[in-house]
Chain A
Amino acid sequence: NAGVTQTPKFQVLKTGQSMTLQCAQDMNHEYMSWYRQDPGMGLRLIHYSVGAGITDQGEVPNGYNVSRSTTEDFPLRLLSAAPSQTSVYFCASSDSVPGLAGGTDTQYFGPGTRLTVL
């Protein structure tokens, strides 16, 4: 199994450009999520999905869109990139929704995408 894969690994954008960060997992996990990691801020949840067709907002959703048309894929779209979106983005998946009784809750993380917005 490849686990969780993310593309691209690095990306430089100009302010106002749009792009899609790709995330895919081959573990048949229902739960997927996107985080951004900034120095001194830890990881902050952007969006998450509990299954195909179902998404919800996390702590910092503004400026980002997601969709979940298949179990495997969970792309993150930047609509109009801003310098404040310069960050490292991590995608994660799990076989259970966090907090549900009996779930493993273990999140499997991708290697990250380092995004710079000029």
Chain B
Amino acid sequence: SQQGEEDPQALSIQEGENATMNCSYKTSINNLQWYRQNSGRGLVHLILIRSNEREKHSGRLRVTLDTSKKSSSLLITASRAADTASYFCATDTQAGTALIFGKGTTLSVSS
């Protein structure tokens, strides 16, 4: 079964608004990552947060991690039409050696 589950499944916002996506997972992890997938393309790594970190920033991206609740959030500030894509969280498994992806959140940003 999949480790991570994103919420919501789909999100529609206007340009300039903030977009927040959440990820919940089931077992203890070492790292959690977020990826973006544009339509018809492969996934692209956005950001990694380690289990001993609570928050991380990269440009307009802000990721938080709450290991006690087994959850993470990805915030995209001042969204642009180019942010339209699917976003996936990925975690290592409890035993390590494999990366498990959630089902993704589809973000649509309209101008």
Contacts and interface: CB of A to CB of B under 8 A. Distances in A.
B43 interface: yes
B101 interface: yes
Interface residues of B, number: 26
Contact of A107 (B30, B41, B43, B97): B43
A40 B2 CA distance: 12
Interface in B34-55: 35, 41-45, 48
Contacts of B103: 40-42
Interface in B19-71: 29-31, 33, 35, 41-45, 48
B88 A42 contact: yes
A111 B41 contact: yes
Given A99-B92, A105-B92, A90 B42 contact: yes
Contacts of A98: 30-31, 92-93, 96-99
A43 B88 contact: yes
A109 B44 contact: yes
Interface string A28-43: 0000010100001111
A104 interface: yes
